């Protein structure tokens, strides 16, 4: 028998399992205060799941507010929707808008790598869809333990196959991402998925339930017992030492269903039959009903027993918590319901009216005629607990900062050997084994994708397009989270700018250890400050994002990983700049200032046995902006552009040579280790036709960007770096081998 509200009022002293559901005593007491009685089992389920860290942002809320202080405009105009919506939306001109967002699915991906990663992609795509947009692309930012660890051989292939299967089956091109390895990610991989969609301004849809008498329709997959408690159990608890042995239930994705859901939903939008819409993700129906109702102007009444189930034994509280994938909820005027149902039938998508918008201010949920939930929806969706977690700069950081990599021996190995080490480093090596599993061609609008440093998608036939890059170097963020976040931002910004697009907006995914650990909390707070200050300086608002805490195995937290996605706009995709080395005879120019900066570098990691210490390279956002100004104005003059990132100049030069299958010659200027492997920011390696070199030089001078000619593209396949000689074959063998070798061993 269901625990009704009447029953709850009559039995105030019943013991309730609030602790097992992850609630703290004072949180439980607050629920009792709000309701003026004990919660029913269903209410307890709703509050516990909605007040979990993952859904309520209880530890991060006070800090995330700082993003709200940033101006709500991009260099291209007003934001059409910002933080607080399923995903931010911005105007890109010609009547078009784009929406994009990054989200994490870290813990589920450790438990079941394939399904965890797959449903991560599914979830972010539904967020994009819920804004009224057609999803047009995905990206994935991945972190694993050391490449040679047996568990990485379980997790990596599963995650990649999961991201691939789901995205491929949805028909969304994967236009980029990253994969990094670090010991702190073993036992705690990160799977951050980015989705991007496009829409006409007038197609914008928001998640709210308004209009008394309007129907609430649940459509898509049936509801099952998978992922019950997934939100609170999977996302808010650290794994104990025995890791996946604990194996809670996970969600299984059905990308085919989601593809039908996308096409069906877009047709519903086009027919104008949707008044409000919300995707079902974490916390399932608990989240969708309470969020829709609290964002609307009335209440909501749901008859929960109408929910189509695939397991008839589910209790009402289980139904409310189920995280079954591929479901959406829409608010529809009564007169349009038939039309709504017809479109769903065309796509073989099951749809059921499960309730309606009421003129009260309560969310009431019935189960076979009896009321099991009667709550003010805002108290579930938005008025969750807010914590001011203590944070403190950890003591160890001074020691770490003092241990500068600039002081390490630079001749520990012959220079030539050091080049090969860096090119074969797991964090530099070729990612083809991964990216080959992703369809980058579908939809026919992919202008740039891997191995380019940013993805680019054509939005309309006039050539309007967007470019995207997602970046973060957690090792650098470990040295200094404020600067680390700014480096992530600067790198994504630079990668977008290198294509010729103008960077305009940011989405972020903040992956950190336990917020209950003051050091991890300090890293989190610093990263946000770094991002906010950086975004203010660059004029790029944060349009949305996600926070993932408790990324730690036992006491060991991951290196802080504030992943940043930057979106840029380009007026004519035909003018985009590729990072592939241009034709023989082109000059190569190094833009920006190179300093003696080796701390946190790949070089320190692989030449000095995992060394991680010192201070991050200087962040110079003014210089990044000057690069953008130069590239926006003069990208027509360059034949190629490659941002300098992890691995420094040597990597930029060698990778673009390997990809183009052409030789290259680069001079050595200054101290060799810093020159080849230093990771100073705000730098690009560009290819210039000698015929326009003078004009190019003038453009660099005008924008005050330091520019030196450092080399040329060679006929043949030798690579000459200073006095060092390599064959392209040797370098490419070293660079291509590590991931396939580890995965196929």
* Residues of each annotated binding site: 57, 101, 103-107, 126-127, 251, 279, 323-325, 508, 545-546, 548
> CB of 177 within 8 A of CB of 142?
yes
> CB of 99 within 8 A of CB of 182?
no
Report, in Å, the least distance between residue 2 CB and ligand ADP.
27
> CB of 639 within 8 A of CB of 504?
no
Closest to Mg ion by CB, 336 vs 378, is: 378
**Of residues 108-127, which lie at the interface with Mg ion (CB under 5 A)?**
127
Residue 221 as a binder of another protein (CB under 8 A): the answer is: yes
CA pair distance 497, 592, nearest whole angstrom: 14
- Nearest C-alpha neighbor of 94 from the set 460, 349, 634: 460
CA pair distance 228, 318, nearest whole angstrom: 7
Q: Which of 39, 145, 544, 565 binds ligand ADP (CB under 6 A)?
A: 544
Alpha carbon distances (Å) from 429 to 416, 468, 587 = 17, 22, 26
**Three-class SS state of 697:** helix
Q: 54, 114, 205, 301: which is the annotated catalytic residue?
A: 54
Residue 291 as a binder of Mg ion (CB under 5 A): the answer is: no
Closest to ligand ADP by CB, 541 vs 643, is: 541
Residue 471 touches which member of ligand ADP, another protein, Mg ion, none, C-beta under 5-8 Å by kind: none
Report, in Å, the least distance between residue 578 CB and another protein.
11
**Of residues 236-255, which lie at the interface with another protein (CB under 8 A)?**
244, 247, 249-252, 254-255
DSSP 234: I
Stretch that binds ligand ADP, among 434-442, 465-473, 542-550, 669-677 (CB under 6 A): 542-550
Stretch that binds ligand ADP, among 82-90, 231-239, 328-336, 622-630 (CB under 6 A): 82-90
Residue 566's contacts (CB-CB under 8 Å, 6 or more residues apart) are 468, 469, 470, 489, 492, 493, 495, 496, 503, 505, 506, 540
**Of residues 95-134, which lie at the interface with another protein (CB under 8 A)?**
111-112, 114-115
Closest to Mg ion by CB, 127 vs 258, is: 127
Report, in Å, the least distance between residue 52 CB and ligand ADP.
11
> CB of 289 within 8 A of CB of 300?
yes
Q: Which of 184, 286, 324, 427 binds another protein (CB under 8 A)?
A: 324
> CB of 285 within 8 A of CB of 380?
no
Report, in Å, the least distance between residue 163 CB and ligand ADP.
18
**Cα angle for residues 523, 525, 527 (degrees, 5° grid):** 65
Residue 64 touches which member of another protein, ligand ADP, Mg ion, none, C-beta under 5-8 Å by kind: ligand ADP
Q: Which of 179, 231, 380, 510 binds ligand ADP (CB under 6 A)?
A: 510
CA pair distance 74, 94, nearest whole angstrom: 16
Stretch that binds another protein, among 28-36, 72-80, 123-131, 166-174 (CB under 8 A): 166-174
Tell me the helix, strand and coil percentages in the chain, rounded to 5: 40, 25, 35
By CB under 6 A, the count of residues binding ligand ADP is 17
Report, in Å, the least distance between residue 162 CB and Mg ion.
20
Binding residues for ATP are: 57, 101, 508, 545
Give buried/exposed letters for 204-241 (b at 16+ CB in 10 A, else e). bbbbbbbbeebbbbbbbbbbbbbbbbbbbbbbbbbbee
**Of residues 388-447, which lie at the interface with another protein (CB under 8 A)?**
435-447
Report, in Å, the least distance between residue 568 CB and another protein.
18
Residue 542 as a binder of ligand ADP (CB under 6 A): the answer is: yes
Binding residues for Mg(2+) are: 103, 127, 279, 546
Q: Which of 6, 34, 62, 64 binds ligand ADP (CB under 6 A)?
A: 64
CA pair distance 606, 35, nearest whole angstrom: 58
Binding mask 201-240 for Mg ion (x = CB under 5 A): ----------------------------------------
Report, in Å, the least distance between residue 322 CB and ligand ADP.
16
Q: Which of 2, 70, 159, 169 binds another protein (CB under 8 A)?
A: 169
DSSP 690: G
Q: 63, 105, 611, 635: which is the annotated catalytic residue?
A: 105
- Nearest C-alpha neighbor of 642 from the set 425, 426, 497: 497
CA pair distance 124, 105, nearest whole angstrom: 10
**Of residues 566-605, which lie at the interface with another protein (CB under 8 A)?**
573-574
CA pair distance 92, 78, nearest whole angstrom: 10
Stretch that binds ligand ADP, among 38-46, 81-89, 384-392, 465-473 (CB under 6 A): 81-89
Query: How many residues does this entry show for the chain?
Result: 745
Binding residues for substrate are: 104-107, 126, 251, 323-325, 548
Alpha carbon distances (Å) from 525 to 61, 360, 384, 510 = 11, 40, 20, 10
Residue 636 token pair? 């027509």
Report, in Å, the least distance between residue 122 CB and another protein.
12
Residue 447 touches which member of ligand ADP, Mg ion, another protein, none, C-beta under 5-8 Å by kind: another protein
Q: Which of 347, 416, 697, 709 binds another protein (CB under 8 A)?
A: 347
Alpha carbon distances (Å) from 436 to 156, 313, 440, 657 = 14, 42, 9, 20
Alpha carbon distances (Å) from 417 to 292, 420, 422, 675 = 60, 5, 9, 15
Q: Which of 4, 16, 86, 165 binds Mg ion (CB under 5 A)?
A: 86
**Of residues 258-287, which lie at the interface with another protein (CB under 8 A)?**
259-260
Residue 115 touches which member of ligand ADP, Mg ion, another protein, none, C-beta under 5-8 Å by kind: another protein
CA pair distance 455, 300, nearest whole angstrom: 42
Q: Which of 4, 59, 74, 86 binds ligand ADP (CB under 6 A)?
A: 86
Report, in Å, the least distance between residue 286 CB and Mg ion.
13
> CB of 45 within 8 A of CB of 55?
no
CA pair distance 685, 301, nearest whole angstrom: 60
> CB of 229 within 8 A of CB of 248?
yes
**Three-class SS state of 440:** coil
- Nearest C-alpha neighbor of 86 from the set 255, 279, 235, 295: 279
CA pair distance 423, 437, nearest whole angstrom: 23
Q: Which of 53, 127, 326, 605 binds ligand ADP (CB under 6 A)?
A: 127
Paired with 300 in beta bridges are: 357, 363
**Of residues 99-118, which lie at the interface with ligand ADP (CB under 6 A)?**
103
Residue 382 annotated as catalytic: no
Residue 201 annotated as catalytic: no
Closest to ligand ADP by CB, 62 vs 161, is: 62
Report, in Å, the least distance between residue 281 CB and Mg ion.
5
**Three-class SS state of 51:** coil
**Three-class SS state of 39:** coil
By CB under 8 A, the count of residues binding another protein is 50
Report, in Å, the least distance between residue 324 CB and ligand ADP.
16
Sign of the four-CA dihedral 617, 654, 488, 392: negative
Closest to Mg ion by CB, 293 vs 532, is: 293
Sign of the four-CA dihedral 24, 25, 30, 33: positive
Closest to another protein by CB, 12 vs 444, is: 444
Closest to another protein by CB, 246 vs 702, is: 246
Paired with 284 in beta bridges are: none
**Which residues of this chain interact with another protein, rule CB under 8 A?**
111-112, 114-115, 161, 164-165, 168-171, 221, 224-226, 244, 247, 249-252, 254-257, 259-260, 310-311, 324-325, 346-348, 435-447, 458, 573-574
Active site residues: 54, 105
**Which residues of this chain interact with Mg ion, rule CB under 5 A?**
86, 127, 279
**Which residues of this chain interact with ligand ADP, rule CB under 6 A?**
55, 64, 67, 83-86, 103, 127, 281, 508, 510, 542, 544-547
């Amino acid at each position: 028998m269901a625990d009704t509200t009447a029953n709850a009022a009559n039995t105030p002293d019943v013991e309730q399992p609030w602790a097992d559901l992850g609630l703290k005593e004072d949180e439980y007491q607050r629920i009792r205060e709000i309701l003026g009685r004990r919660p029913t089992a269903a209410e307890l389920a709703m509050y516990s799941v909605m007040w979990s860290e993952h859904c309520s942002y209880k530890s991060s809320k006070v800090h995330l507010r700082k993003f709200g202080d940033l101006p709500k405009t991009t260099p291209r105009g007003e934001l059409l929707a910002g933080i607080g919506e399923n995903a931010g939306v911005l105007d890109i001109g010609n009547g078009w808008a784009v929406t994009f967002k990054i989200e994490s699915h870290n813990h589920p991906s450790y438990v079941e790598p394939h399904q965890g990663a797959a449903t991560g992609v599914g979830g972010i795509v539904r967020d994009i869809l819920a804004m009224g947009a057609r999803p047009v692309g995905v990206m994935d930012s991945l972190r694993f333990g050391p490449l040679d660890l047996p568990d990485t051989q379980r997790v990596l292939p599963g995650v990649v196959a999961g991201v691939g299967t789901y995205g491929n089956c949805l028909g969304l091109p994967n236009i980029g991402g990253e994969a990094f390895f670090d010991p702190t990610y073993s036992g705690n991989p990160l799977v951050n998925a980015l989705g991007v969609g496009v829409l006409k301004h007038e197609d914008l849809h928001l998640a709210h339930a308004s209009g008394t008498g309007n129907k609430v329709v649940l459509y898509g997959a049936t509801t099952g017992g998978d992922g019950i408690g997934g939100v609170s159990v999977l996302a808010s608890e650290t794994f104990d030492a025995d890791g996946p042995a604990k194996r809670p239930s996970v969600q299984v994705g059905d990308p085919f269903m989601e593809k039908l859901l996308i096409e069906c939903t877009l047709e519903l939008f086009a027919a104008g039959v949707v008044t409000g819409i919300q995707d079902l993700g974490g916390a399932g129906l608990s989240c969708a009903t309470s969020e829709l109702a609290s964002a609307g102007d009335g209440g909501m009444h749901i008859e929960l027993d109408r929910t189509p189930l695939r397991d008839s034994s589910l209790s009402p509280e289980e139904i409310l918590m189920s995280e079954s994938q591929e479901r959406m909820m829409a608010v529809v005027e009564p007169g349009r319901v038939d039309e709504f149902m017809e479109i769903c039938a065309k796509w073989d998508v099951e749809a059921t009216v499960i309730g309606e918008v009421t003129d009260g201010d309560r969310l009431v949920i019935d189960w076979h005629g009896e009321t099991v939930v009667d709550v003010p929806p805002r108290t579930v969706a938005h008025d969750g607990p807010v914590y001011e977690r203590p944070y403190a700069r950890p003591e160890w950081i001074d020691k770490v900062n003092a241990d500068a990599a600039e002081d390490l021996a630079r001749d520990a190995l012959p220079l030539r050997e050091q080049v090969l080490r860096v090119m074969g480093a797991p964090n530099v090596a070729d990612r083809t084994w991964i990216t080959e599993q992703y369809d980058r061609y579908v939809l026919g609008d992919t202008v740039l994708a891997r191995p380019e440093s940013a993805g680019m998608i054509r939005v309309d036939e006039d050539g309007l397009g967007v470019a995207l890059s997602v970046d973060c170097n957690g090792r650098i963020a470990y040295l200094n989270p404020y600067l680390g976040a700014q480096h992530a931002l600067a790198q994504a910004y630079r990668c977008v700018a290198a294509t010729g697009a103008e960077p305009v907006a940011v989405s972020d995914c903040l992956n950190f250890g336990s917020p209950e650990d003051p050091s991890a909390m300090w890293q989190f707070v610093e990263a946000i400050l770094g991002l906010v200050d950086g975004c203010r300086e660059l004029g790029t608002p944060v349009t949305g994002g996600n926070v993932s805490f408790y990324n730690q195995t036992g006491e060991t937290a991951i290196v802080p990983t504030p992943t940043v996605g930057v979106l840029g706009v380009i007026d004519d995709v035909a003018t985009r700049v590729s990072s592939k080395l241009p034709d023989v005879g082109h000059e190569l120019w190094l833009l920006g200032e190179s300093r003696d900066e080796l701390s946190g570098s790949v070089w320190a990691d692989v030449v000095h046995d995992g060394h991680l210490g010192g201070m991050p390279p200087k962040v110079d956002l003014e210089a990044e902006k000057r690069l953008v100004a130069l590239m926006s104005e003069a990208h027509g003059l360059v034949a190629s552009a490659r941002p300098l990132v992890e691995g420094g100049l040597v990597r930029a030069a060698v990778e673009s040579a390997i990809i183009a299958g052409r030789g290259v010659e680069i001079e050595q200027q200054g101290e060799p280790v810093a020159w080849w492997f230093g990771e100073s920011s705000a730098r690009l390696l560009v290819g210039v036709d000698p015929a326009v070199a003078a004009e190019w030089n003038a453009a660099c001078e005008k924008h005050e960007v330091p520019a030196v000619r450092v080399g040329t593209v060679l006929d043949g396949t030798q690579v000459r770096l200073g006095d060092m000689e390599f064959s392209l074959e040797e370098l490419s063998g070293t660079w291509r081998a590590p991931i396939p070798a580890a995965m196929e061993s």
